[in-house]
């Protein structure tokens, strides 16, 4: 994706995935206009949108910035950035493409899962050992 200037137009949609149109199965198009800029976003699925941008801009999502959020534009990884209020946004270049975001595991989260599984197995083994001792 291309780098944007500080004067790039911004679009702050409500959380598109939670809009009534997404729950009812109909499609709703969200548009942003800033002078000559026009970004049109059409929901495709809960975390995917079709984007049409006449020029580069930013799409702000109502999602808390947390490690693990990944964005893909037409299948290619795209940087996810955070604004000053702690929400994620995507810098979008000019053109038409499909944007998908996903919350993917980070190395620290995977390590935490592994440690939790080991701890649960340890507790289960101690409980079994204690049960066998009392019989």
Which CATH number goes with the domain that contains 54? 2.60.40
Q: Tell me if 16 is assigned to some domain.
A: yes
Q: Tell me if 76 is assigned to some domain.
A: yes
Q: Tell me if 81 is assigned to some domain.
A: yes
- Specify whether 33 is located in the same domain as 98: yes
Q: Domain span at residue 125?
A: 106-135
Per-residue pLDDT tens digits for 40-91: 777 777 788 888 888 888 888 888 888 889 999 888 898 899 988 888 988 8
- Specify whether 119 is located in the same domain as 98: no
Q: Tell me if 4 is assigned to some domain.
A: no
Q: Tell me if 62 is assigned to some domain.
A: yes
Q: Tell me if 5 is assigned to some domain.
A: no
Give the mean pLDDT of 107-133.
Answer: 95
- Specify whether 36 is located in the same domain as 23: yes
Instruction: Report how far residue 49's alpha carbon sits from residue 52's, in angstroms, rounded to the nearest whole number.
Output: 10
Band of pLDDT at residue 112, cut at 50, 70 and 90:
very high
pTM of the full structure: 0.58
Cα–Cα distances (Å) from 49 to 58, 64, 67, 134, 135, in that order, read 14, 19, 21, 59, 60
Q: Tell me if 1 is assigned to some domain.
A: no
Count: domains in the chain: 2
**Average pLDDT taken over every residue of the chain:** 76
């Amino acid at each position: 994706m291309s780098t944007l200037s500080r004067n790039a137009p911004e679009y702050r949609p409500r959380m598109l995935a939670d809009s009534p149109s997404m729950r009812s199965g109909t499609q709703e198009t969200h548009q942003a206009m800033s002078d000559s800029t026009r970004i049109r976003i059409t929901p495709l699925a809960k975390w995917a949108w079709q984007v049409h941008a006449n020029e580069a801009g930013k799409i702000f999502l109502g999602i808390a910035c947390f490690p693990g959020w990944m964005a893909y534009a037409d299948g290619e990884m795209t940087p996810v950035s955070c604004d000053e209020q702690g929400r994620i946004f995507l810098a979008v270049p000019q053109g038409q493409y499909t944007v998908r975001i996903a919350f993917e595991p980070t190395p620290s989260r995977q390590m935490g899962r592994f440690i939790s599984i080991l701890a649960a197995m340890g507790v289960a083994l101690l409980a079994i050992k204690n049960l066998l001792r009392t019989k």
